[in-house]
Amino acid sequence: MRLLVTGAAGFIGSNFVRYWVRNHPADTVVAFDALTYAGNRPNLADMEDRIAFVEGDIGDGETVSKALADHGIGVIVNFAAESHNSLAILDPGRFFRTNVLGTQTLAEAARLHGVSRFHHISTCEVYGDLPLDSDECFTEETPYRPRTPYNASKAGADHAVRAYVETFGLPATITNCCNNYGPFQFPEKVIPLFTSRALDDQPLPLYESVANRREWLHVDDHCRAIELVLEQGQVGETYNVGSGVEASIEEIADAVLSATGKPDSLKEIVPDRPSHDRRYLLDSSKIRRLLGWEPEVPFEQGLADTVAWYGAHRSWWEPLRDRAPVVEGEWDRPRPTTGPSTGR
């Protein structure tokens, strides 16, 4: 198999590349990334002799088409996305350019090149949010109801992919996944943010809605799910990928403080961001029933291992902290819009 992995220098993308070259050593993997602030080339350092790398923007059809032709690509796995909810509030345009128009451009190049599979990575957040006091969950049939610019841009990308399936016969599949955690996650995200700040005895910023909950899945389990969809998934289908394990933001903070041996006094309440979703939970019975997928990493162990990884890899995350583009809570600070930007 010859794969093009977009967003390959980001968190999930780099873990997927690492997973794939380890488990499919005979395959050719081309890592494609625009190397924006969260795209970090060193994430791929231990695989440089096993992969080809192309620096490019998924919104640049010429660059994408050249990569597909030059490397004889048969399969595309699209992780490339702007994915920071807070940044999307301050600069929504870059999210719609990358996540909607960029995905459409990539799908068009895939169609013209004649790939055998186009797999698109989406999120649980396209479905909207759920009440905290309910036992509801999202199925693959749940109507899309995005509430934030990031969520809406990912919903638009999903619709573009489905339109290419129906209109042009693009052999595409989609997975909607819950919150991932694990090594190589950019320190703007909550678990590495809390961990890096706790290690330096700095306050952990918790939104006022400390009871808001997320479903958590280790990135390695996500990679295994994508592998199964590529190998066994039916073209045109969507598969929810979730662990069923929920934890609130305060429970995450408490777990990180416990793992690092730091005091509860480091918790600091900050104002909620606008349109802060309350709760996400996926019904992942379809992928479990049809493809035999199950998560293998217990949350408590996975979280402890992740905190330990950040503790042992300070040289990786310290240079990245100052690249984070958002100061949480400063929603009223004017911010200029950016030009086109894609993919991690």
- pLDDT tens for 15-39 read 999 999 999 999 999 999 999 888 9
Distances (CA, A) of 54 to 34, 58, 191: 8, 11, 29
Residue 256 lies in a domain: no
Q: How far is CA 125 from CA 89, 137, 214, 264, 325, in A?
A: 15, 12, 10, 30, 21
To the nearest 5 percent, what fractions of the chain are helix, strand and coil? 45, 15, 40
Residue 240, pLDDT > 50, answer yes
Q: Is 51 helix (H, G, I), strand (E, B) or coil?
A: coil
pTM: 0.92
- Is residue 258, in this structure, part of any structural domain at all? no
Instruction: Please state, in angstroms and as integers, the Cα–Cα distance from residue 218 to each residue in 294, 314, 338, following that order.
Output: 12, 21, 32
Examine residue 251 and state whether it is found in any structural domain, yes or no: no
Domain of 33, in residue numbers: 2-186+217-244+277-297
pLDDT at residue 85, as a whole number: 73
pLDDT, position 245 = 97
Q: Is residue 60 part of a domain?
A: yes
State the pLDDT at residue 328: 57
Q: Are 22 and 307 in contact (CB under 8 A)?
A: no
Distance CA 135, CA 144 (A): 19
Name the domain count of the chain. Answer: 1
**Average of per-residue pLDDT across 238-242:** 98
Report the distance separating Cα 284 and Cα 123, nearest Å: 13
In a domain, 140, yes or no: yes
Amino acid in the structure at residue 263:
P
330 confidence band (pLDDT: 50, 70, 90): low
Contact 209, 274 (CB under 8 A): no
DSSP states along 196-259: HHHHTT--EEEES-TT-EEEEEEHHHHHHHHHHHHHHPPTT-EEEE--S-EEEHHHHHHHHHHH
Whether 210 is in a domain gets the answer no
Can you say whether the dihedral through the CA atoms of 219, 224, 225, 230 is positive or negative? Answer: positive
Domain annotation covers residue 293: yes
Q: Are 99 and 105 in contact (CB under 8 A)?
A: no
Q: What is the CATH number of the domain that holds 6?
A: 3.40.50.720
User: Which tens digits make up the pLDDT trace of 84-94?
Assistant: 777 878 899 99
Instruction: Return the structure tokens found at 84.
Output: 């920071």
Q: What pLDDT score was predicted for residue 327? A: 60
Does a structural domain hold residue 40? yes
